[in-house]
Structure 1
Amino acid sequence: MYGDPALPPDFVSLPHANPDAPKGGRIVFGERGGFDSLNPYILKGRAPWGVQTHVFETLMGRSWDEPFTLYGLLAESIETGPDREWVEFHLRPEAAFSDGTPLTVDDVIWSFETLAEHGLPRYRNAWDKVARWEKVGARGIRFHFTERDNELPLILGLRPVLNPRDWEGRDFAESGLEVPIGTGPYTIGAFEPGRYIEFQRNPDYWGRDLPFNRGMHNLDTIRYEYFADGDVIFEAFRAGTVSTQRETNPARWATEYDFPAVRDGRIVKSEIPHGRPSGMEGFVFNTRKPIFADWRVREALIAAFNFDFVNQTVNGGAWPRRTSYFSNSILAMDPGPAEGEVRALLEPFADQLLPGTLEGYSLPESNGDQRNRAGLRQATALLEEAGWTIRDGVLKDAAGQPFAFTITVTSSEHESIANLYADALKRLGIEARIQLLDSAQYNERRNTYDYDMIINAWGLSLSPGNEQYLYWGADGVETPGTRNYMGMNSPAAEAMIDAMLTAGDQESFVAAVKALDRILMAGRYVVPFWFADASLLAHDARLKYPERTPVYGDWIGFLPEVWWYEE
């Protein structure tokens, strides 16, 4: 995205891959929920994550050891204009689908246009900035852009390339279980909807000898088993049915991993640090609902959340709090008033920014005492200022309507956190009901913004870009299927995203992200939880990974991509 790639043109392998890793073996993942579709690129249906990860490829591949650097994958060469006003890709002549059909420029165009017209909303955002495209020779294609956006060449480089023949005579937007044929290193093997799916390594994979792929895609079989909930998955892992368990609860990591397979070495506990941003996770206010439209109400409910007590109860106090959408990275907003380029970016919007954006915003503090008196006093004052008062033990507005809402969750772990929060809110006269839904119902409700409050997590990278419109853009207030779950509508936030995408250097880019972070935090859209600064991963001892982990750690592109099986 900025500067030069870290790897030279003649690199042997990605730095976090073992080029000598053996091929063979299998891994079994435990997944919650189920699936009823094999098309992961549309809103309808539920598709296994592994389809897009293992079966389909993109023109370029990402190195997860750099903030945002791509190397040629399906494309053997890439050119851009001096201001990235166009990008030109040339396909590798050996690139082919798993059935041996050569990849063509027409396949690429069909994929990009179909995804924009019928796929998930995120695919349209960037495509709307493509003014036109043209073929260049037999295997080249050039895209011209309508506006300055330094990220667009990279975004197009990461678009999945599909097989048009898979959808002949079928509506792409309708979900189904027809097996797609991709160019990737795996093909879909045996599956049973809602129960399991297997991916088999293709020994004739066209890209197996590329330096970008050396030491990657080592396992012969990748299987996903589906279970009702996380507790059942853990028991399946203890029994040896599942190969890995990614633990999110450090208290359980310390106390519940002392079963025989751990003691005799069949299971290994690995702690893998990372340098990626924390992202954001917490209770999300749906500001489309009038009850959460006032920022003072949202601030009050943030103050009422007894973070230290809940963190101690759930995690043994092990994890730090998310004080920024980009905690754990150089992109996080600085404490105190905005200064320098960050302030210059924000000041044109001063009249519409919420208190704390320019002056400095920090989360209300708690001391770990279960009663959280200081936080509740602060919350009461803010609620009174916003027109809510206690009458007969119930918090009501001027019209006498009680303050009541529903927290919708989809796991027993989140239900327990919500119950702790609801108990605290009772002391304010607020009724917070807890609604536990299965994954299918929950996703449908979330996609259509049919909730008062949910728990959500946004994973953020070291190079945020166009996807930020999907997360925080005004289109998501009404358009279903975005990730603007709070329903925020902020011209200032969109201006900061514009500044990120047109920044001429790393310093200006970082300033724009810090400014966006201030808008998000001072918007009081989320009651922030904790974050893990390391991954806690228990796994079959026969599964190995390189000693050197990428800057993003145990994230996308790590497990199972660079792992291998060894007796």
Structure 2
Amino acid sequence: MKSCFRVLLVLFFLASTAFCDQTFPKPDWKELPDPVASPYAEQGGEVCVYIGPSPKSLNYYLENSSIAAHVFSGLYESLLSMSSRNLEYEPHLASKWSISDDKKTFTFWIDKRAKWSDGKPVTAQDVKWTFDAIMNPANKTGVHKVSLSRFESPEVLDDHTIRFTAKEVHWKNLLSIGTFDILPKHAYENLDFNKINFELPVVSGPYEIGELTENVSLTLERRRDWWNNDAVNVQGVNNFDTIRLRFYGESENAFEAFKKGLIDIIGVNTARTWVKETEGQQFADNWIIKQKIQNYRPVGFQGFAMNMRRPPFDDVSVRKAMAHLINREKMNAAIMYNQYFLHKSYFEDLYSPDNPCPNQPYDFNKDKARKLLADSGWKVNPKTGFLEKNGKPLTVKFLTRDSTAERFLAIYEQDLKDVGIQMVIDKKDWAAWMKDMDDFNYEITWAAWGAALFKDPEGMWASSEADRPSGNNITGFKNAKVDELIEMQKSIFSVEERHEICRKIDQLVYEQCPYVLLWNIDYTRLLYWNKFGTPDTVLTKYGDDSSAESYWWLDPYSVADLKDAMEQKLPLPPKPLSVVFDEVFVDPVMDKPKN
């Protein structure tokens, strides 16, 4: 399952005005092997990974979550894919495509070899039906409507040719229509789209659903009859016969299962686990490998999202006070072993030492918080010790879904209480949390976001997205100046010019403080049992730990060595603790081997 390409397809677009009035691929185009995939990879076996809590749906169009996206990426395919070598578009369901002079008409020719798992051909009617289903107002497809709304409903020219017409020129247009997943019309057209959740029997991708045990696990089974199995650029990829995705509501429970051997690979999201709980014979003798992977994965952001649609967070002074009341330095030192950098931007990777971020951090300062609150009319009731305004106390309800947050919230709660703010913790499971988020039924919550190499600020920061259910603008952010800048960047094909506009947007958003920004890292922390073959780079250029499912393989010699080592209590040879992509990557086609 090339789940890392979900990241590429959803997030990246290499814009170029040279693409206009041309047909792709060029006549001299030829397939090249994937530069990350190992020629030594073997197919077969099973890998078990922790994916997160049990989802409420596997239909990515209905559940806007990384879990659903992860599963969907193995089941369904898009018209185009993207090269892991240079981020240029490659044929996928479409064998070729063209773009008109005015950059508004896009025509795709579907590969006549492409077939659904039931043997029926993939057709232009499937593409049109999927587009129309996403755009149907009755369907709860949320954020997926955003980019496709820039197009008219596509025109079917024949069974294998479809044409899209854009309402406006936008640098993201080809990405939008080239990379949304196509569903089989004949399998789903007579169903209620909003009820297509776990039954996904007809697929076109390299994997299909095997067993689903609610709240326990899901298996994906490799399709030996996948129509694209013989393509040059998928050799050494999609190696596991079975991918078992284990569900745990708490990451701590998943880590305990990992140490018992119930999970093979796990990404580590907590510093305490990484620093203090990777000790003992399993780690010392290299039965379990611990690696820090540095590649080009863009840096997102995380923070406490505040619902600006309702009091008290409709007041920017209250939001800024909340930011001044979190002791990030203390939390980083006391709980996270100083493993993280502290956020001061929503677009961290758009800044550098040569182009530093001008945003001034919201420092931990109770006096500043008190002044902001007082200026906004909040006064301490001497009888209760809590702030009040118009006879109502300043009480905030924190919606959480993970017990690992409790250590941080305990510190935050005490500092809020010290200035007169009462915080109530409302803990729910993943499904209930997602429903509340979709319905904007929350006051403040912890949210983490991935990032794009090339930024599109519309979905998260446009006023038009503030009231879209299941969208990304979860805080309800609205700002006229930001809207103007978002409109401005739509027709700009220069990446650098767009990034400069995003830096301006970042500074405007930062001033309005929709999130209490927290912290992050710029690498991937990975643990795995020492029984796999991996590429030299371990992960892909832009991928996270999920790319292991696509590029690793079960190595029979390593499996035997691990079994013997554990039985005889012997060490295995170590692997590098740190892997830097650029230091080990060699493109077998474009680069000469290093001496």
- Give the TM-score range, shorter chain: 0.7 to 0.9
CA contact (8 A) 1:396 1:402 kept: yes
Structure 1, unpaired ranges of 5+: 337-359, 367-374
1:452 to 443, 457, 466: 443
CA contact (8 A) 1:80 1:86 kept: yes
Residue identity opposite 2:530 in structure 1:
A
CA contact (8 A) 2:344 2:359 kept: no
Note the C-alpha offset of 1:395. 4.0
Match of 2:413 in 1: 422
The separation in 1 between residues aligned to 2:108 and 2:550, in whole angstroms, is 25
Residue identity opposite 1:380 in structure 2:
R
Alignment of 1:452-531 (within 5 A): 452-465=443-456, 468-531=457-520
Note the C-alpha offset of 1:463. 1.2
Relative to structure 2, which stretch is displaced further, 407-416 or 41-50?
41-50
CA contact (8 A) 1:409 1:437 kept: yes
Match of 1:388 in 2: 378
The separation in 2 between residues aligned to 1:331 and 1:169, in whole angstroms, is 52
Distance 1:286 1:438, change over 3 A: same
Match of 1:147 in 2: 168
Note the C-alpha offset of 1:102. 1.3
Match of 1:59 in 2: 79
The separation in 2 between residues aligned to 1:168 and 1:193, in whole angstroms, is 26
Match of 1:161 in 2: 182
Match of 1:379 in 2: 369
1:76 aligns with 2:66: no
How many percent identity over aligned positions? 24
The separation in 2 between residues aligned to 1:490 and 1:69, in whole angstroms, is 34
Alignment of 1:32-431 (within 5 A): 32-35=52-55, 37-42=57-62, 48-64=68-84, 66=86, 69-117=88-136, 118-136=139-157, 138-330=159-351, 335=356, 360-366=358-364, 375-392=365-382, 394-431=385-422
SS class of match (2:162)? strand
Note the C-alpha offset of 1:216. 1.5
Residue identity opposite 1:250 in structure 2:
A
1:564 aligns with 2:562: no
SS class of match (1:126)? helix
SS class of match (2:228)? coil
Note the C-alpha offset of 1:2. 2.4
The separation in 1 between residues aligned to 2:85 and 2:417, in whole angstroms, is 46
The separation in 1 between residues aligned to 2:352 and 2:172, in whole angstroms, is 17
Residue identity opposite 2:439 in structure 1:
T
CA contact (8 A) 1:37 1:47 kept: no
The separation in 2 between residues aligned to 1:119 and 1:89, in whole angstroms, is 27
Distance 1:35 1:189, change over 3 A: same
Residue identity opposite 2:248 in structure 1:
F
The separation in 1 between residues aligned to 2:64 and 2:152, in whole angstroms, is 29
Distance 1:475 1:555, change over 3 A: farther
The separation in 2 between residues aligned to 1:532 and 1:42, in whole angstroms, is 30
CA contact (8 A) 1:333 1:515 kept: no
Note the C-alpha offset of 1:20. 4.2
SS class of match (2:393)? coil
The separation in 2 between residues aligned to 1:47 and 1:298, in whole angstroms, is 30
Match of 2:15 in 1: 2
The separation in 2 between residues aligned to 1:119 and 1:184, in whole angstroms, is 24
SS class of match (1:204)? coil
Relative to structure 2, which stretch is displaced further, 409-418 or 37-46?
37-46
The separation in 2 between residues aligned to 1:43 and 1:226, in whole angstroms, is 16
Residue identity opposite 2:72 in structure 1:
Q
SS class of match (1:407)? strand
Distance 1:508 1:83, change over 3 A: farther
**Matched length:** 532
Relative to structure 2, which stretch is displaced further, 510-519 or 57-66?
57-66
The separation in 1 between residues aligned to 2:216 and 2:110, in whole angstroms, is 37
SS class of match (1:502)? coil
Q: Structure 1, residues 220-278: CA drift from partner, whole Å, max 9, x if none?
A: 11011223422211111000011111111223212211233323322111211133332
Note the C-alpha offset of 1:365. 3.0
1:15 to 35, 52, 77: 35
Note the C-alpha offset of 1:54. 1.0
Relative to structure 2, which stretch is displaced further, 431-440 or 128-137?
128-137
SS class of match (2:487)? helix
SS class of match (1:483)? coil
Match of 2:22 in 1: none
Distance 1:143 1:183, change over 3 A: same
Residue identity opposite 1:443 in structure 2:
M
Distance 1:157 1:276, change over 3 A: same
CA contact (8 A) 1:324 1:333 kept: no
Q: Structure 1, residues 480-510: CA drift from partner, whole Å, max 9, x if none?
A: 2112111111232233222332113223112
CA contact (8 A) 2:52 2:67 kept: no
Q: Structure 1, residues 380-409: CA drift from partner, whole Å, max 9, x if none?
A: 122122222223163434423221111111
The separation in 1 between residues aligned to 2:428 and 2:174, in whole angstroms, is 40
SS class of match (1:237)? helix
Q: Structure 1, residues 546-567: CA drift from partner, whole Å, max 9, x if none?
A: 22344424266x2312222212
Distance 1:30 1:506, change over 3 A: closer
Residue identity opposite 1:389 in structure 2:
K
Normalised to the residue count of structure 1, the TM-score between the two structures is 0.87
SS class of match (1:143)? strand
Note the C-alpha offset of 1:454. 0.4
Q: Structure 1, residues 405-446: CA drift from partner, whole Å, max 9, x if none?
A: 111110011222122111111111111111111111111111
Note the C-alpha offset of 1:302. 0.7
Note the C-alpha offset of 1:176. 4.5
CA contact (8 A) 1:199 1:221 kept: yes
The separation in 1 between residues aligned to 2:381 and 2:190, in whole angstroms, is 63
1:533 aligns with 2:522: yes
Normalised to the residue count of structure 2, the TM-score between the two structures is 0.84
The separation in 2 between residues aligned to 1:85 and 1:275, in whole angstroms, is 31
The separation in 2 between residues aligned to 1:331 and 1:497, in whole angstroms, is 23
